Amino acid sequence: MLSGAGWRYFGGRVVAGVATLWMVSVLVFAALHLVPGSYAEIVLGPFSSPQARAALTSEFGLDRPLVLQYAEWLRHLIVGDLGSSLGTGEPVTSQLVRRWPVTAELAMLSLLVTVVVGLPLAVLAGLARGRLGRGLSRLLGSSAMSTPDFVIGSLLVYVFSRFSLGLSGGEYVSLTADPLGNMRSMVLPALTLSMFGVALLVRTGRDAVVNVFSSPHVMAALARGESMAHVIRHHVLRNAAVPVLTVLGTYVGYLMGGAVIVENLFSLPGLGQSVLSAINGRDYAVVQGMVLVAAAAFIAINLLADFAYGLVDPRIPAGHRG
């Protein structure tokens, strides 16, 4: 099915992704060594004896050359060992396993809302011809793009609690214990996070739809008498898919940061909360591990988006575009 050029495109993407991931790992490793104060001082406290510090330093091999330390760290990474929390001694991986379902559920719900609400709105905004419609969609899109997520979240919490609308933030219920209660506690966080996604999708999708609509083949299809619904499904959506996919890739990157803020605002026990408490507790191992995993996930998702481009638009792997 794939031509030589297609294989080269997909292969090239994978190689580029792995190379980026490797450089990210170097950067994250270097970041930990830029932290003021030695590791022994952080673990043993500022009043520890020099002997104890020296013992710890040599026990963990921190007196060895940096390159060797990096190689050792990388070896552990590859077998899935992200180190342990400096505070509790719990392995970072077990914290990840415990916490990721909350964050993943939040991200999935937000993505779902974004696509379900944003896509029809983008098409509608693209079809709107009037001056008023364009101005209105620009104003709405611009305000949703500009309002920080924690402001949107606070506003939602305020409105829902002020008028007792039945949903509230702050009481997280796990999905397995009470699916309905879980949904109730997840709706507001997911809405908060999807606001930016919807705005982004409308903004980009609108331009894409307008562009496709002004191209000759759509004119021809309309002139042939094909129905509007048919034209939108077969000509517009498919051609608008590439910019929309790009935007969704960007949105996933935003989600990872946004999750930290929204989990904090709604007290959801996800990965964002553990990163935040790790920073406040100076637990560098946890920060390092989580940031690395998040960056890896982001790279992987963008790789998937690259693959999806290839499937949606065969011109890209063939090297005619992008």
Partner 1 sequence: MGTQLGEPVSVDAIGLPGGSVARRGSRSWRLPFRGDVLSRVGLFILLVFVLVSVFGRWLPLGDAEAVNAGPRLAAPSGHWWAGTDSLGRSVLPRLVQGVGTTFVLAGIAVLVTAVISVVIGMVAAYYRGVVGEVIVRGADVLFAFPSLLLAILLVAITGPGMTGALVSIVLICSPLMVRVVRAASLSVVGRDFVVAARVGGASPVRVLAVHVLPNVAGAAVVQATYALSVGMLIESGLSFLGLGLQPPKASLGSLVHEGAVYLPIAPWLVLIPGGLLALAIMAVNLVGDGLRDALDVRGVEVRR
Residue window 16-45: x/- pattern of binding to partner 1, with contact defined by CB under 8 A: ---xxx-xx--xx--x--xxx---------
How many whole angstroms separate alpha carbon 53 and alpha carbon 50?
5
Q: Is 121 in the site for partner 1 (CB under 8 A)?
A: no
Where does residue 275 rank: exposed (0-12), middle (13-18), buried (19+ CB within 10 A)? buried
Q: Which of 201, 242, 275, 305 binds partner 1 (CB under 8 A)?
A: 275
Q: Is 161 in the site for partner 1 (CB under 8 A)?
A: yes
Phi-psi region of 125 (alpha: psi -120 to 50; beta: other; left: phi over 0): alpha
Cβ(287)–Cβ(275) under 8 Å?
yes
Q: Is 175 in the site for partner 1 (CB under 8 A)?
A: no
How many whole angstroms separate alpha carbon 264 and alpha carbon 285?
21
Total residues contacting partner 1 by CB under 8 A comes to 54
Q: Is 100 in the site for partner 1 (CB under 8 A)?
A: no
Q: Is 277 in the site for partner 1 (CB under 8 A)?
A: no
Q: Is 291 in the site for partner 1 (CB under 8 A)?
A: yes
3-state secondary structure (DSSP) of residue 192: helix
Where does residue 63 rank: exposed (0-12), middle (13-18), buried (19+ CB within 10 A)? exposed
How many whole angstroms separate alpha carbon 201 and alpha carbon 232?
17
In whole angstroms, the minimum distance from the beta carbon of 23 to partner 1 comes to: 4
Q: Is 280 in the site for partner 1 (CB under 8 A)?
A: yes
Q: Which of residues 229-258 bind partner 1 (CB under 8 A)?
A: 250, 253-258
181/253 with CB nearer partner 1: 253
Which residues face 84 on adjacent strands?
91
109/199 with CB nearer partner 1: 199
Q: Is 155 in the site for partner 1 (CB under 8 A)?
A: yes
Closest CA to 248 of 302, 208, 182: 302
| Contact positions vs partner 1 (CB under 8 A) | 19-21, 23-24, 27-28, 31, 34-36, 135, 138-139, 142-143, 145-151, 154-155, 157-158, 161-162, 196, 250, 253-258, 260-261, 264-265, 275-276, 278-280, 284, 287-288, 291, 294-295, 298-299
